Amino acid sequence: MSGGHDNIPETALGWHRAGRGAVLATVVETWGSAPRPVGSQLAVAGNGEIAGSVSGGCVEGAVMAEAGLALTDGRARVLTFGVSDDQAFAVGLACGGTIRVLVEPVGAALPEATLAELVTARAARRPVALLTHLDGGGHRLAGPDDPAVAARLRSDRSGIEDGDWFVGIHNPPLRLIVVGAVHIAQPLIAMARLAGFDPALIDPRGAFGSAARFPGEVILDDWPDEALARLAPDARTAVVTLTHDAKLDDPAILATFATPAFYLGCLGSPRTHAKRLERLRAAGATEDQIARIHAPVGLDIGARSPAEIAVSILAQITQRLRRG
């Protein structure tokens, strides 16, 4: 198996353009305790190489066999599989379910130009949905300004609309920008990466933001507002300030106000936060901007240790992302 779960369209397009043949399989519907969520994808090359997953291993073999047939006849097909209780247990589920998988040969049922347009949008971090007509095989791309897909993009939920149109959501990767390379940042960044975020750390203090303390992570030693301007937070970005230093946190907060970041959390006690608000108002922050701040940062779970505080922060970020 090659490739990751996040670059399946890119892998399929690359295989097709290399003349290897490629089929893109997508989970379009599930019932019961399905192994993989709707929207999960598997790319299959003409030589049988695969990337991604549509079932956690339960039905990949059958999908690969159908992919070979699809490359031969050039037609799309929708497959239905029942996942038995024994199969489900093998991939960590309590009971079985049913999944429907759309299988499309690239360059035939799925036009190369359509897939290339999708890949371009993903590379540019543009939220986009690929709509596929399950009966006729027609395709179109739509963005957040299309009311037919806007709600699904916000909730990260692929699914079927109007009976026979499958809406496949392709949102930009989630990002977490942490200001302050303090002890809480170490478990927070590690946990966020496990949860699917692409983290970046900002701290101009060399003793804090060192590669030894944060191996393998992106560390920017610019002043926070300058670093945030470079990172350009979008609507898929969360920002957390942890320094306890107004000279670092305040510029980061003010810079974040100018972005569509979906979450802004700031470490500090209620008393510390009250003083922070006085400074922000004096700097010209509006009440609507101030209302965006989650402080004291994190859900109130009684957290004490740095790791527990990190859990509370990531939980609050997830709550904001999924529930708004």
Domain ranges (residues) in the chain: 8-170, 174-323
Please list, residue by residue across 234-249, b when 16 or more beta carbons sit within 10 angstroms of its beta carbon and e when fewer do: eebbbbbbbbeeeebb
Q: What is the mean pLDDT of the chain?
A: 91
Please state the rounded mean pLDDT for residues 64-74.
95
pLDDT exceeding 90 applies to what percent of the chain? 75
Among 54-58, 77-81, 133-137, 262-266, where is mean pLDDT lowest? 54-58
What is the pLDDT, as a whole number, of residue 5? 46
Residues 6 or more apart from 263 whose CB is under 8 A from it? 237, 238, 239, 240, 294, 316, 317, 320, 321
Output phi, psi for 189, to 5 deg.
Answer: -65, -40
pLDDT band at 38 (very low <50, low <70, confident <90, very high): very high
Distance CA(89)–CA(237), nearest Å, equals: 35
| Secondary structure class of 116 (helix, strand, coil) | helix
What is the pLDDT, as a whole number, of residue 87? 57
Which residues of 173-290 form beta strands (DSSP E)?
174-179, 197-202, 218-220, 237-241, 263-266
Which residues of 33-119 form beta strands (DSSP E)?
41-45, 50-52, 77-83, 97-105
Per-residue pLDDT at 2 exceeds 50? no
Q: How many CA atoms lie within 13 Å of 281's alpha carbon, on the beta-carbon side? A: 9
DSSP state of 106: B
Q: Map tokens 């957040």 to a residue.
A: 144
What is the pLDDT, as a whole number, of residue 162? 84
Whether the Cβ atoms of residue 20 and residue 46 lie closer than 8 Å to each other? yes
Per-residue pLDDT at 278 exceeds 60? yes
pLDDT band at 132 (very low <50, low <70, confident <90, very high): very high
- CATH T-level fold of 174-323: Rossmann fold (3.40.50)
Whether the Cβ atoms of residue 186 and residue 306 lie closer than 8 Å to each other? yes
Among 149-158, 238-247, 276-285, 295-304, where is mean pLDDT lowest? 149-158
Cα 83–88–92 angle (5° rounding)?
155
What is the pLDDT, as a whole number, of residue 99? 86
What is the pLDDT, as a whole number, of residue 156? 87
Please state the rounded mean pLDDT for residues 63-91.
82
- Name the strands in the sheet holding 128-133, side by side, starting at the edge strand that comes first in the sequence: 139-142, 128-133, 165-170, 159-161
pLDDT band at 1 (very low <50, low <70, confident <90, very high): very low
Per-residue pLDDT at 205 exceeds 60? yes
What is the pLDDT, as a whole number, of residue 36? 79
